[in-house]
Amino acid sequence: MTASVAQIDLHHHARLPRLAELLAPRRPLWTPTELRGLTTAVAVELTGPLLDILRFASPDRWWARLALTDEVELWLLSWLPGQGTAPHDHGGAAGAFTVLLGDLAETFRYPSGPIRQESHGTGVSIGFGSGRAHQVRNLGPARAASVHAYSPPLVPTREYVSLRDIPDEIPPLPARRSLAELRLEPVEP
C-alpha cells in the first residue's frame, strides 16, 4: 500500500517519493520496532537529502519536522557539543531514533526501574515503548544529528527535574487528534 502526498504533510525539502513510501499507512499506531525501522531507513536511504536540510544552531538545538501523518510524526534534529534535552517522556507515545551523525548519550528509565545510560554512535537505532522517559545529550566534541519518529503523532512531552521523578506509571495517552488538528499546532519536538 502506498500513501498519497495528500495523506502526508512533508517538509518542503523532504518531498521525496521514497519518504512517502516509507510512511505508507500501517495501522492506527506504529510499534517501536516499526518506528525503529522507519528511522533507520530514512537515515540510511535519505542521507543526502537529510544533510541538505540539516542545520546547526546555538544556543538552542535545531529541529525540523520532516513528515506528519495520522499515524506517525518524523523529525530531524541537530545537536552541537553540549546540547541536550531535559529529562522527559513522550506523553504516552512510542518512539524511535537513529543517529545520523556523531554520538549521542542517552540516560533513560522505565517507571519503577533503574536509571540506565547508553551511548549511541552513527547508525545506531533504538525503539522504545510508551513508558520510557529519557534525556538525550551530545557529550562529545563533534556535531551530531538524529532522525526521530513518534506514534501516535507527537503528543505533549512531560519534563522532569530528574529521571528519579518519573511516576510509577506514565499517564495514558490523551485522546487521539486528527491530522487536521495536528496541522494547526506549533511545529516543535
Specify the range with the lowest mean pLDDT, choosing from 3-12, 41-50, 94-103. Answer: 3-12
**For residue 75, is it within any domain?**
yes
Q: What pLDDT sits at residue 1?
A: 33
**For residue 50, is it within any domain?**
yes
**For residue 38, is it within any domain?**
yes
**For residue 68, is it within any domain?**
yes
Tell whether pTM > 0.95: no
**For residue 188, is it within any domain?**
no
**CATH number, domain at 123?**
2.60.120.10
Q: What pLDDT sits at residue 186?
A: 61
**For residue 117, is it within any domain?**
yes
Q: Name the residue range of residue 32's domain.
A: 5-183
- Rounded distance, CA 109 to CA 30, Å? 21
pLDDT bucket at 18, cuts 50 / 70 / 90: confident
**For residue 189, is it within any domain?**
no
- Rounded distance, CA 88 to CA 86, Å? 6
pLDDT bucket at 162, cuts 50 / 70 / 90: very high
39-86: per-residue pLDDT in tens? 999 999 999 999 999 999 999 999 999 998 888 999 999 999 999 999
- Phi, psi angles (nearest 5°) of residue 7: -90, -5
The total number of structural domains that make up the chain: 1
Task: Evaluate whether 149 touches 123 at the Cβ level (below 8 Å).
Answer: no
- HSE-CB at 153 with a 13 A cutoff on CA atoms is 23
